[in-house]
A and B are shown apart, each in its own frame.
Chain A
Amino acid sequence: MSKNLKPKSQLRVLLAQTFKERLAKIGGVIVFAILALVLFGPFFAPYAFDEFIDMPNAPRSSTLLLGADDLGRDVFSRFLNGGRSIIGLSFISTVLGVGLGLLIGLFAASAKQRTDSLIMRFNDILLAFPQIVFVLLVVSGFGSSIFLIALAVGFTHAPRTARIIRAAAAEVMERDFIKAAIAVGEKRHRIILSELLPNVTSPLLVEFGLRMTYSIGLVAAVSFLGLGLQPPAADWGLMINENRGAVTVQPWGVLTPIAAIALFTIGVNFITDSFAKVAIGIDRKGKE
């Protein structure tokens, strides 16, 4: 049976085609560079991220590549250390949220119509909370901890992913091989895992890329608002908040994290969009 082989090779072909697109190449280079910076950057930091080494907002000098921040710590060292939390938390929340949404979407699509519409109605209710509002609601109710924030961000992704996956899976459910599988008496979980799942990988990957950019925006915003990582942690979102007041004197404490966040999200979006064009052939709809 080709069913185990075909989707995989198809995906490989799609990815190869994606990276033939110019934007995807640019995006790939950007994402690769930022990931390398996030992973290996801390080893090259000249100072500790919480070490006071100069006057607050000291300008650039031969020893301080990007000057000092609002409390006199090395901006460059804090920048090198500040990506792990945001990228890591975003990745975790994206995996959790898209994973949960995938399960709900596949379950709903393969369920009886009544169960399906019950799940999706409940899903619609969750969709009424804008993501940042829901995250803030949770933070106000449970207090702010970074893992709670990762969970909350992931949780807000789930109903949005579920809707996309359900729509894609519902189309697959109409196809003959599913009907054949049901007729043969295959178990529900077998149908979900080995028939449905391989046939929704393209929308799933698009969803993952999209949700990753939103995760970064949400996680960074929560830190920026002072509700995420707490000082003296080095975190790009927090850095922007801390150094915003002195941006006219010492712009680097704001500019470097801003540039890194912007470039990373742009890179991810370039790849996602190219893949969506190659694999699905349509533009995505609005953000939620």
Chain B
Amino acid sequence: MNKVREFFNQGGLLLFVLGRIIAGIPIVLALSVLVFLATQALPGDAAVAYLTNTATPERLEAIREQLHLNDPIWQQYTRWAWDALHLDFGMTLTGESTVNELLSERIKNTLILMATSGIVAMPLSILIGVIAAVRRGKAFDNISSVITLIFAAIPEFVVAIIIIFVLATNVFQIFPAISFLDPGTLAWSEPMSLVLPTLTLVLAVTPYVSRIMRGSMIEVMESEYIQMARLKGLSERTVILRHALPNAIAPTIQVIALQLAWLAGGVVVVEAVFAYPGIGTIMIESVKGQDLPVVQAITLMIATLYVTLNILADIGTILTTPRLRTKYARKNDNSDVFAAMGGDE
């Protein structure tokens, strides 16, 4: 920890971190423009959707006025973006509640699902990757290689259906196929409802991280300093856990962050399969009902989460890679790191 503080004190690194965060702002701004435009091309009219069957020309005009649909598009955008900046996404199209009321519980449930999946998947992938690397070419390596290749290929909603078939309906009936949750309760009050969605997401991300971890670990195990550690007479266990593992994890951080970010999108379909009460399920419902304020809000949140995770990954990589750490502590230029970090994922 002292080392970390030391580098922050040197200034360059702090500048890099700040620069990276500031670079995220125009990206999020551009995202909001894209989200807004993608939902404005609708041939129909929000006012029609809003009133459905009760639309008369006069009422339509009144609603258009009320929703500011007659304003020029850039005014509509700035109004929406300004409110979104204050985390106010307006009313849902049905007008029964605000988008915030609708989403607040569900965001928590989605974050719970993402967190449990990440917490299970990451140590598991690292473990599989390390064992496969240490036993390179042996049975565990070969079998895990084929299994990860299989699970990397199958679409996650198909995995979800297979899991339901095996663990919830046809073969065994251990877990519920659908997450029954009372409105207003959080997912961890019904842990059983979390098991299958978590398992699905774990199976979706583990293959990627474990394969990268294996490759990174093999590279480290062949390095000179590991040979040195062995020659010093350290036990294989110490060599692997103390010397190889920490160095092998650093290059994997980008992939871990990428997979965590992927989870933000992956939950959408998986939640829908299990009727899990998160933002994914509500997004599908809103897409079907063309409830644009909700779709806009969720899309913007997921994309912003993605950008945030990428920034954290860049910072994490710098902090765990001594070579880069010294480089950015020394010179305050971070223009090419931006490219180097993002360029080869």
Contacts and interface: CB of A to CB of B under 8 A. Distances in A.
Contact of A140 (B43, B162, B290): B290
A285 B345 contact: yes
B34 interface: yes
B176 to A, nearest CB: 14
A163 B341 CA distance: 12
B262 A286 contact: yes
B333 to A, nearest CB: 15
Given A244-B161, A285-B345, A140 B286 contact: yes
B222 interface: no
A142 B41 contact: yes
B98 to A, nearest CB: 19
Nearest to A237: B157
Contacts of A233: none
Interface string B162-173: 101100011000
- B contacts with A: majority SS: helix
A225 interface: yes
A47 interface: no
Interface stretch (A48-56, A117-125, A188-196): A117-125
Contact of A141 (B39, B162, B272, B288): B39
23 contacts: A120-B339, A126-B34, A130-B261, A130-B264, A130-B266, A133-B283, A133-B303, A141-B39, A141-B41, A167-B343, A213-B155, A217-B158, A218-B155, A221-B155, A225-B284, A227-B287, A254-B161, A254-B165, A266-B150, A266-B153, A270-B149, A285-B258, A287-B259
B208 A286 contact: yes
Interface in A39-98: none
Given A133-B283, A142-B43, A262-B153, 9 more contacts: A129-B31, A129-B306, A137-B35, A138-B38, A224-B157, A258-B165, A265-B153, A269-B150, A287-B259
Max chain B C-beta neighbours (<10 A), residue from A122, A140, A143: A140
Interface stretch (B100-108, B209-217, B239-247): B209-217
Interface string A218-250: 101100111100000000000010001001100
Contacts of B299: 129, 133-134, 136-137
Interface of A: 23, 117, 120, 122, 124-134, 136-143, 163, 166-167, 213, 216-218, 220-221, 224-227, 240, 244, 247-248, 251, 254-255, 258, 261-262, 265-266, 268-270, 273, 282-288
Given A140-B292, A254-B161, A130 B258 contact: no
B322 interface: no
Contact of B146 (A23, A140, A163, A268): A23
B265 A23 contact: no
In the A-B complex, the 8 residue pairs with the closest CB atoms: A130-B265, A217-B155, A269-B153, A286-B258, A265-B153, A140-B287, A128-B303, A286-B208
B199 interface: no
Contacts of B339: 117, 120
Interface string B257-298: 011011011101100100000000001101110111001001
B31 A128 contact: yes
A133 B212 CA distance: 26
Contacts, number: 181
A222 B94 CA distance: 24
A23 B147 CA distance: 12
B1 interface: no
A139 B169 contact: no
B288 A217 contact: no
Given A139-B287, A261-B158, A268 B165 contact: no
Contact of B345 (A131, A221, A286): A286
A248 B170 contact: yes
B342 interface: yes
A76 to B, nearest CB: 19
Contacts of A129: 31, 34, 265, 299, 302-303, 306
